[in-house]
Amino acid sequence: MKIFESISDLQNELFIIRKERKTVGLVPTMGALHEGHASLVQRSTKENDVTVVSIFLNPTQFNDKDDLKRYPRTMDDDCKLLKECKVDYVFAPSEKEIYPMPDTRRFEFPPQSTVMEGAKRPGHFNGVCQIVSRLFYIIKPDKAYFGEKDWQQIAVIKRLVPYIGSTTQIVECPIIRDADGLAKSSRNTLLSADERLITPKIYQVLSESLAYAQDHTVEEVRNYVESGINSEEMLNVEYFEIVDGNTLLPVDSWNDSPYIVGCITVYCGRTPIRLIDHIKYKG
């Protein structure tokens, strides 16, 4: 496994790879890697000749600077995991390497980028598009792998790809969960022991709502989920939206779309830690 900090050094290496007509897979990450990231890497190594994993804590997608400061940084452990996964290349650039000058580009792909996370975290998806477009330009991957936990992010990136003229195929990979149902996330490491004990309630209530939805309205299901999760003292639902799976716009009836998804963000604890998840009702 080779580690690159320089764009030019990585591109020179990939130039040789492409001369050999080998395919390149990319797994973009912000570090603090876990089994969910490992599943993306393993799929990439199966489907491509060469896999690049980027580790870059992208400041432009954090609308809350305190959140950026708290984000876990575990480079040594990350490289150990990636070596075990038989990754070919790790791209771990500095902020100056990625953004030698401030990135003033503006990306907006409504409604996918303006609802839910887009509304609650102004500028977040613009920052995501800035870094993903940079990585696609630098690496020019044949395929890029993203976890479905960040489901809305995938919808935005799918809009970004044709906009920037990229031919990269976006590969969606299933959520990896702990045995108790909590979706794997780098932020989980920030939870205290007592906070971690109550977080499975999120997926438990979402799962129970599937059966509840069979004979209840969209509004009733929304209330069921919110009240069920909020019943835990240290859990607080920021939003729970039941949306069309393509447009991400809210639905009022189960007949409004053949593809319906429930998307949730929950604050946990006193800090608090922000956790996201989703459940598919139709489609």
> What are the binding residues for (R)-pantoate?
61, 153
Task: List helix spans (H) across 231-267.
Answer: none
Binding residues for ATP: 30-37, 147-150, 176, 184-187
273 - beta bridge partners?
A: 268
Alpha-carbon Rg for the chain in angstroms: 19
Residue of 37, 124, 216, 278 marked active site = 37
Nearest of 120, 128, 180 to residue 150 by alpha carbon? 128
**Alpha carbon of residue 258 to chain centroid:** 24
Please say if 124 is a catalytic residue: no
Task: List helix spans (H) across 48-199.
Answer: 65-70, 75-84, 95-98, 117-120, 124-139, 151-163, 193-198
How far is Cα 182 from Cα 202, in angstroms, rounded to an integer? 7
Binding residues for beta-alanine: 61
Binding residues: 30-37, 61, 147-150, 153, 176, 184-187
| Active site members | 37
